[in-house]
Amino acid sequence: MKKNSKGLLIFILILFGFSLWVVWPNRDIGGRKDFVLGLDLKGGSQLIYSANLSGKDPSLTDAQALASVKGTIERRVNAYGVTEPTVQTMQNEQGSFILVQLPGVKDIDEALKLIGQVAELDFREQVLNATGNTTWVIAEAAGSNGTDEELTGKYLKPNASVVLSQSTNQPEVAFEFNAEGALLFKQITTRNLNKPLGIFLDNELISAPTVQAVIEAKGVITGVSLQQAKTLAIQLNSGALEVPLTVVQRRDIGATLGADSLNKSLLAGIIGFVLIILFMIIYYRVSGLVACLALVVYTVLTLAVFKLIPVVLTLPGIAGFIVSVGMGVDGNVLVCERLKEELRSGSTLQRAVEQSFTQSWSAIWDSNVTVFIACVVLYWLGKTFGNFMVVGFATTLFIGVALSMFTQVVVTRAFLRTVASSGLAKSSRAYGVLEA
Amino acid sequence: MIDFVGKKHWFFLISAILIIAGIISLAVFGLKWGIDFSSGTAITLQFEKEVELSQLRQELAGLGYGSATIQPAAGGEFLIRLPEISSDEYNQLKAGLEAGLATNITDSSLYTVSPIIAAGTVRNTVIAVIIASIGILLYISWAFRKMPKPIRWGICAVLALLHDLIIVIGVFSILGWAASMEVDALFITGVLAVIGVSVNNIVVVFDRIRENLKRGVSSDFEVVANCGIMESVGRSLNTSLATLFVIVALYLLGGATIRTLILALLVGITTGIYSSLCIAGQLLVVWEKGEWSALLPWAKRTA
């Protein structure tokens, strides 16, 4: 028994040491040095797009079309250079949605244009219609299998880039066709020599250069600003969206507002923690002190788990964690109250310690299960409508409460046993029993 | 020894007043639904120079947003509520305000929800609350399966739980018209967390009563229950106080984002202490003894 509790104490110390090592500022854990902060703390933007699947390629299922849109958006977001973006699909009775999180993004307007635009590129030639006016018609030419194909962005190699024109020093997007595209482009430029060729993006004319020579593979798109050129290059490389998207939810959080909230909540957490510790020590004396030590172990352990998994910390998530610290006191208080009772009724210290745990267990377990049920439901709820704050709260509260049960049963008990058998504090008064 | 069970009619009276006040407010004013449920746009703006509320209101009206609700917040920030606007309209609004107020916007947050998302949120919230309630009801019945009449224990716990929920929702309804407090997704989060935490307290008290029954403290259930409640007072107050410390600190310092979550927890945990000590066990006694007239506060006096 005694040997056993010594081994347990060593295990706890190792666990605590490891947790402290993990939590230590700037400790590199799998390439990350800090806790992963959610949008509300870091600043950034979350967009939910509704996908209009009615116009999808009929050979694709809804899920496939949505997955294709997701893939395109992922390529665009990655090329834009957002760190740790999230792109998720959500399908429910209300429709099909794509959720995009862009942490720390500064120019959200540009990002909105980049992501949400279908970006269907095509090349058009001018023809005379019946009324004698010229109109733009998508250029067609014979493909390798003999049938006429429209010349669109799908024949581009994914290597479009922004270059500066050597003659005008204006930004341009350089593109290159694949073999099939080059075949079409050659025929089209041949028949349109010295005529304008329109380059259209989503049915809007971007530029209409005059064809100076027969071109096969390479070309440039002029008449764009630098910002437009960058966006267009990314869009050409990522491909067009399978279906059009509309923004149905947007949440931007300013970076300073987020940082401000983080500091305030951390301060609140620290104040609350100090109050709890004072209260526990004044009211429960030695067992309160032991419970507080266990609480410190608990806090460091939980933070280590948050960093290891990693749990995305949001403002409600931090609140959930702080609440779980408060509730973590709960089990310790239950045990301390039991200990006082056992001592009052005349038990020896060792016996009182053992009794207080066996007697409190059913209450500790029963009372926490309901919190777990609430957390699981909340997690589901938050996921279904893309509310990362609700998910954050449910996650940290769940982990917090689970770990607090572990610390109550393992850590507080091991500490109390050690104190009880050490003979450091023998009188009942030391455990808060007034009428000893 | 305080006679918690003996004073039950007073406790029932206090609860009845709180619940009726809440229900009247709910019936008359309902809840003030935030944009998570009703759709719309919420903007937080921080200006470089100090801006007067009246000035801001005037400029917004000039830009065609006369119906906007504006609330000043800490640190010279303003919270503005509008019907749903598009990204372009948002940019025009910001540019218009910067020009009109002759200052820069240093930081801004935007939250905009379209009706399609809001409808889904409402639906899923209803499902979540139902699933959570059923789950907890099943769990309580299971936890008390070894009791003589497990259903009674379960139903009494659920009644005490409903008591807490109605008071929390009632408080938000009253604050809705008194202080334009809105309910959002985080309020629902708070309410569901309250369900979890509130049952927690009730379970601890019932656990004590159950233990006293096994020990055979007394043949009178009223005495057994009162002992159980008395023995839980220290624990209930202390744990809840510990939780309340951190929640009050969060409420005072935590900022506007999580205010509804924290307030729901604050009210819920406070009523949770009360209902676990003054309502749940007492209901059990009333049922056990068949003294339903004790629910009426005047019955004891005339008896």
Kindly list the residues from chain A whose CB atom is less than 8 angstroms away from the CB atom of residue B257.
40, 261, 315-316, 389
DSSP B75: G
Per-residue pLDDT tens for B23-34? 999 999 999 999
CATH architecture of the domain with range A43-117+246-252: 2-Layer Sandwich (3.30)
CA B284 to chain centre: 25
Model confidence at A76: pLDDT above 80 = yes
Predicted confidence (pLDDT) at residue B302 exceeds the cutoff of 50: no
Query: Any idea where the domains of chain B sit in the sequence?
Result: 8-35+117-302, 41-112
Higher-pLDDT residue of A288 and A46 is: A46
Cβ of A92 and B262 within 8 Å? no
Contacts of A271 in chain B (CB under 8 A): 249, 253
Q: ipTM score of the complex?
A: 0.86
Answer yes or no: do B193 and A397 touch at CB < 8 A. Answer: yes
Residue B267: its pLDDT value, please? Answer: 95
- Residue A436's pLDDT band (cuts 50, 70, 90): very low
Contact B192 A260 (CB under 8 A): no
Q: Where are the domains of chain A?
A: 2-39+254-431, 43-117+246-252, 121-240
pLDDT at A398: 94
8 Å CB contact of B235 and A333: yes
Angle between the A349-384 and A413-422 helix axes, to the nearest 10 degrees? 160
Interface of A with B in 85-144 (CB under 8 A): 92-95, 109, 112
If you average pLDDT over every residue of chain B, what do you get?
87
**Alpha carbon of A88 to those of A69, A313, A394: distances in Å?**
10, 19, 19
Q: Which fold has domain A121-240?
A: Gyrase A; domain 2 (3.30.1360)
| Residues A307-333 as b or e (16 or more Cβ within 10 Å = b) | beeebbbbbbbbbbbbbbbbbbbbbbb
Distance from CA of B65 to the nearest CA of A (A): 20
- Report the residue from A40, A94, A330 with minimal CB separation from B120: A94
| Residue A113: exposure state from Cβ atoms within 10 A (0-12, 13-18, ≥19) | middle
In the A/B pair of chains, how many CB contacts fall below 8 A?
237
pLDDT score of B297: 55
pLDDT tens digits for range A334-378: 788 788 888 888 888 888 888 888 878 877 787 788 889 889 999
A314 and B CB contact within 8 Å? no
Reading the block at residue A121, the tokens are: 């590129």
Q: What is the mean pLDDT of residues A327-334?
A: 77
Write down the mean pLDDT value for chain A: 86
Looking at chain A, which residue has its C-alpha nearest residue B88? A109
Tens of pLDDT, residues A149-203:
899 988 999 889 999 988 888 899 999 999 999 999 999 999 998 999 999 999 8
- Residues of chain A neighbouring B192 (CB-CB closer than 8 A): 374, 377-378, 381
Q: Where are the beta strands (DSSP E) in A214-281?
A: 218-221, 245-253
- Give the fold, CATH level 3, of B41-112: Alpha-Beta Plaits (3.30.70)
Nearest CB to A385; choose among B120, B204, B265: B120
pLDDT in tens, B186-230: 998 898 888 888 887 888 888 888 888 888 888 888 899 999 899
Amino acid at B12: F
Q: With an 8 Å Cβ cutoff, are A316 and B106 in contact?
A: no
Using an 8 Å CB-CB cutoff, list chain A residues near B231. Answer: 341
- The answer to whether residue B19 scores a pLDDT higher than 50 is yes
In chain A, the residue whose alpha carbon lies closest to the alpha carbon of B126 is A381
Partners of A253 in the beta sheet? A44
- Identify from B37, B250, B265, B273 which residue to disrupt to test chain A contact, counting A C-beta atoms within 10 A and taking the largest count: B250
Q: Cβ–Cβ of A371/B91 closer than 8 Å?
A: no
Q: Does domain A2-39+254-431 have CATH number 3.40.50.970?
A: no
Is pLDDT above 80 for B148? no
Contact (CB<8Å) B200/A326: no
Tell me: the pLDDT tens digits for A129-155?
888 788 898 988 888 888 888 999 889
Please determine, for residue A415, whether its predicted confidence score (pLDDT) is greater than 50: yes
**Model confidence over A195-216: pLDDT tens digits?**
999 999 998 898 888 888 888 8
Choose the CATH number for B8-35+117-302 among 3.40.50.1000, 1.10.760.10, 1.20.120.450, 1.20.1640.10: 1.20.1640.10
Q: Which residue of A has its CA nearest to B116?
A: A94
pTM equals 0.85
A427 within 8 A of A383, measured Cβ to Cβ: no
pLDDT at B303 over 50: no
